[in-house]
Structure 1
Amino acid sequence: MSDAAMWEPVVRARAHELVIQAIEDQITSGALRVADPLPPERELAARLGVSRAGVREAVRVLEGQGVLRSRVGSGAEAGTFVAALPDAALTRFLRLHVALANFPMSDVIAARIALERTSAALAAAHATEAALDGIAALVERMDDPALDRAAFNAADAELHIAIAQASGNRLVASLAVAIRGALRDPLLRAIESAGGWDETAADLQRQHHGILDALRGGDGARAADLMEQHIRYAEAALALA
């Protein structure tokens, strides 16, 4: 390899991207934790060798993502602090990323299976009676033959979200909910165009009841297997992939 090829010019990141990376590095290393303040704007700019405008832009971006929060005024309460990203904000961010990133549908479904197998197994072990009653109520709602396709899809989304949230693992739940949320519209389009919908809906409902029975019985392995079979059936019946 020639010296010229080894020393090609590199693209310099914009100032605010350098600041974002520096802040992310401090958070992932544990040097910055929730509620910790960032250095003042002037000091941070000097430390990183960037303009104050670059620091302001980085803070604006990270505030929009829910990573930072700023308070105006004076004293200890004023400044920019590391924020605890609420679960709903994390789920929304992930859902939009999945929807916008143009992942192949087969990749999305494979990720969904992995996550929902885990959430079903955990829910069988950890779901409270109240959570199981809520899951059962959603299954019963979909037993109504008068339920139209859009309402069935909405209730199905609620059901899978309820199972994920009953798992007791917030991260698994957030990831599973994000994936199911990203599939909401593709699933609805597939359901609305599906032939033989009454038979498909009946099959899906039998599967829902089987998953519920496994959850109530505390059988995590069976709940996970039934969840995977259910998702794969829907994929094939609705021609999602």
Structure 2
Amino acid sequence: MKAHETVMGWVTAELQSGRLSIGDHLPGERALAETLHVSRGSLREALRVLEALGTIRTSTGSGPRSGTIITAAPEQALALALDMQLATRHVEHAHIVEVRLLLETWAAEHAHEGGSDRAAAAQLLERMDEPDLPVEEFLQLDAAFHVELSRAAGNPLISTLMDALRTSIADHTLARARSLPDWPTTAARLRSEHHGILERVRAGDREGAAGLLRNHIEGYYRETADVDTGEPRP
């Protein structure tokens, strides 16, 4: 068994038993290496792998936020895996659009009434309505808006997958937006569509919200399909 698998197995067992919880510190490097019977060099390599996977966070210095802390960021590992799949062209962006449609429309169709996600989504739209907002910031808020909406179904795996998907295509999405001939017009249309979607969600019109989301996602993909000449239309 590789060192990171040994460490991961130990952390998993400790979490399952309740001896450790999210936010707790791992034991010191020397103590943990002795407990797991691995060298300190192997342990450091293992901790770097786990940090890349979003399982832990390491910080130097002193204080309660220093040291190695157990975190819950599964979207980090999923985004990393998707980045590699996209880089090797095993997965295309058209595939991600299809998965987004499945996740987001399902979340809209199964949205719970009320919830803080509506308020958070509305705040994001207020920020997106600011004039002369840089395209980079607009797209970051756009991604956060879609993730917040996906929380409405109360399924944390849906929002985690959404977060990973949006992170993995962030650079590609920015390149496409910058290549559009009239980004301000496109941004205005996207703002209007966002407000319409949120209005349907607030009104409890699940089917209407899902339909608007589908049109919104497919419409933007069609609009930008010719930007990357190697990518076919859906």
Shorter-chain TM-score above 0.5: yes
Cα deviation digits, residues 175-201 of structure 1 (max 9, x gap): 011101112111111111111222222
**1:194 aligned partner, one-letter code:** L
Asked if the contact 2:125/2:195 (under 8 Å) is kept, the reply is yes
Asked if the contact 2:55/2:74 (under 8 Å) is kept, the reply is no
Asked if the contact 1:20/1:58 (under 8 Å) is kept, the reply is no
Residue 114 of structure 1 corresponds to which residue in structure 2?
102
Scaled by the length of structure 1, the TM-score of the pair is 0.65
Asked if the contact 2:8/2:50 (under 8 Å) is kept, the reply is no
**2:208 aligned partner, one-letter code:** R
With over 3 angstroms needed to count, the CA separation of the structure-2 counterparts of 1:34 and 1:115, relative to structure 1, is farther
Equivalents in 1 of 2:120, 2:93: separation in Å? Answer: 30
Scaled by the length of structure 2, the TM-score of the pair is 0.67
Q: Do structure 1's residue 212 and structure 2's residue 179 form an aligned pair?
A: no
Cα deviation digits, residues 33-75 of structure 1 (max 9, x gap): 8859xxx999989xxxxx989x969965774446699xxxxxx
**1:94 aligned partner, one-letter code:** L
> Which of 62, 77, 90 is the aligned partner of 1:93?
77
Asked if the contact 2:75/2:161 (under 8 Å) is kept, the reply is yes
Residue 139 of structure 2 corresponds to which residue in structure 1?
153
**2:140 aligned partner, one-letter code:** A
**1:116 aligned partner, one-letter code:** E
Equivalents in 1 of 2:172, 2:190: separation in Å? Answer: 17
> Which of 119, 123, 126 is the aligned partner of 1:137?
123
Residue 61 of structure 2 corresponds to which residue in structure 1?
none
Q: CA shift at 1:145, angstroms?
A: 3.5
Residue 162 of structure 1 corresponds to which residue in structure 2?
148
Equivalents in 2 of 1:166, 1:110: separation in Å? Answer: 20
With over 3 angstroms needed to count, the CA separation of the structure-2 counterparts of 1:59 and 1:33, relative to structure 1, is farther
> Unmatched 5+ residue regions in structure 2?
22-31, 58-68
Q: CA shift at 1:97, angstroms?
A: 1.4
Asked if the contact 2:108/2:150 (under 8 Å) is kept, the reply is yes
Q: CA shift at 1:131, angstroms?
A: 2.7
Q: Do structure 1's residue 230 and structure 2's residue 216 form an aligned pair?
A: yes
RMSD of aligned C-alpha atoms? 3.8
Residue 125 of structure 1 corresponds to which residue in structure 2?
112
Asked if the contact 1:200/1:237 (under 8 Å) is kept, the reply is no
Asked if the contact 1:91/1:174 (under 8 Å) is kept, the reply is yes
Cα deviation digits, residues 87-116 of structure 1 (max 9, x gap): xx2011111211122221111111111111
With over 3 angstroms needed to count, the CA separation of the structure-2 counterparts of 1:17 and 1:67, relative to structure 1, is closer
Equivalents in 2 of 1:18, 1:211: separation in Å? Answer: 43
Give matches, 1:51-66, under 5 Å: 60=47, 63-64=50-51, 65=53
Structure with greater Cα Rg: 1
> Which of 89, 93, 101 is the aligned partner of 1:105?
93
The number of residues matched between the two structures is 206
With over 3 angstroms needed to count, the CA separation of the structure-2 counterparts of 1:117 and 1:33, relative to structure 1, is farther
Asked if the contact 1:112/1:180 (under 8 Å) is kept, the reply is no
Q: CA shift at 1:17, angstroms?
A: 8.9
Q: CA shift at 1:138, angstroms?
A: 1.9
The percentage of counterpart residues that share the same residue type is 26
Equivalents in 2 of 1:217, 1:34: separation in Å? Answer: 44
